[in-house]
Structure 1
Amino acid sequence: MFISFEGLDGCGKSTQIELLAAYFERNGIEYVRVREPGGTSLGEEIRKLLLHKEMCARSELLLFLASRAQLVEEVIKPALSRGVVVIADRFAHSSNAYQGCGRGLGYELVKSLNDFATDRVYPDIVFFLDIPEETVFQRLGVEKDRIERETSEFWRNVRTCYMKMAQEEPERFIVIDGTADVSEIHEKIIGVVRARMRGKKY
């Protein structure tokens, strides 16, 4: 099973990934965790560039795609072939939202480039932790990276794009209120994961 977590910056992905990983450990379920950008030696070098170097939107997208392609080949495909669960802190849907809609490069263009970069390997479940764009500014600290310093309009466009994808891919996307209690969100996630592991669909 391939699970990814998506949402605006500050939505609570990291906390929920930690809780899900702990659940898998308690239940003896083998898993690997990856993050985007990053997850490989090449990807981590790209991450440094993306978060701290100024660049145009096209360069940003291409670097994300390069990191993603390496992650798929080096980590995700081998893990899935061994029957190991993959938990991803962001994946291809982030580029659709952030670069396709937030940066205005074009939703359909980015989707097609993602097909190439991922070799059409996509998550079985996407947990989208939805928060209003104003919550981003409330939750992020003083020290912000290049992307976290974006405007309200940027975050609004990104959020709208995520909701569009949720409507287009209802079998894959699970939309969760990211402003809810942490334990409540975790229980919802566990319920979905258990059901999918039993072969059920939501």
Structure 2
Amino acid sequence: MFIVFEGSNGIGKSSLVKEVAKNIRFLGEKVHETKEPTTTQLGELIRSYESEVKGLPFAYLIAADRYLHIKNEIQKKLDEKMIVISDRYVLSSLVLQRLDGLDLDFIWLLNNFSIKPNLTVLLTGDDKIIEQRLNSRATKTRLEANNSIKEELDLYEQGMLFLERKGYNFMVVNNTKYSIDHNAKIVTNHIMKLVSQR
């Protein structure tokens, strides 16, 4: 089963992924955690050039990293009957690359051969709380520093509606109103229900 966590910078994706993965392991399932950009040489290159490479070249790099991610990691772990949980996936491209000036349909064209997750967990919340979290960071990436949180949240909602029309399955979770523990339990229960139905 392939599960994806999406949401704006500062929404708490990484923290929630860790808690959900821990809960699922406690229930006896094998879990593989991963993220995008990946920890491969290409993924690290993308991170190191994120402040310099923008727009179309950046979109191609992200798409290439994603397709290699699917081939070399995600699909292999799925074949081993593991639950794969990714911090970011296609929806992030539909949002962040739009903020970089690209057209939604073009971004989808680059990414539409990506395998469809069984579930995408979209984290949302209060833009002011998210901004406070980002401002507490020692450094910010180009996309964290230059974009409106409210606009980013709106684009995530638009992207979700777009992907739902493509058959993607979503769960929306407010990750500023409730605690990580509370949300991790809700998401874990939902995932385990999906597992039991397979």
Tell me the TM-score normalized by structure 2.
0.88
Contact 1:38–1:45 (CA under 8 A) maintained in structure 2: no
Q: What percent identity do the matched residue pairs reach?
A: 27
For the residues of structure 2 that align with 1:39 and 1:33, how far apart are their CA atoms? Answer: 12
- Who is 1:136 aligned against? 130
Comparing 134-143 and 185-194, the one that deviates more: 134-143
Q: Residue deviations 1:140-192, cap 9 Å, x none? A: 1131122211232xx33332222123334186111111112222211210121
CA contact (8 A) 1:37 1:67 kept: yes
2:42 is matched with 42
Quick check: 75-84 or 5-14, which moved more?
Answer: 75-84
Provide the residue aligned with 1:122 in structure 2.
Answer: 116
Aligned length: 192
Q: Which runs of 5+ in 1 are unaligned?
A: none
Partner of 1:191: 189
Whether 1:92 and 2:86 are equivalent positions in the alignment is no
The equivalent residue for 2:12 is: 12
TM-align CA RMSD: 1.9
The unaligned stretches of length 5 or more in structure 2 are none
Which protein, 1 or 2, shows the higher relative CO under an 8 Å CA cutoff with sep ≥ 6?
2
Q: 2:145 maps to which residue?
A: 149
- Looking at structure 1, the residues matched to 8 and 138 of structure 2 have their Cα atoms a distance apart, in angstroms, of 17
Cα distance in 2 between the residues matched to 1:198 and 1:80: 16
Contact 1:38 1:46 in 2 (8 A): no
Shift of the 171–192 alpha-carbon distance from structure 1 to 2, 3 Å rule, reads: farther
CA deviation digits over 1:58-92, x for unaligned, max 9? 12211111211111111011111221111101011
- Alignment-derived partner of residue 76 in structure 1: 74
**Residues of 2 paired with 1:127 and 1:86: CA distance?**
13
When residues 75 and 171 of structure 1 are mapped into structure 2, their CA distance, relative to the original with a 3 A threshold, is closer
AA of the residue aligned to 2:142: R
- Match for 2:41: what amino acid? S
Partner Cα distance (1:172, 1:13) in 2: 18
SS in 2 for 1:161: helix
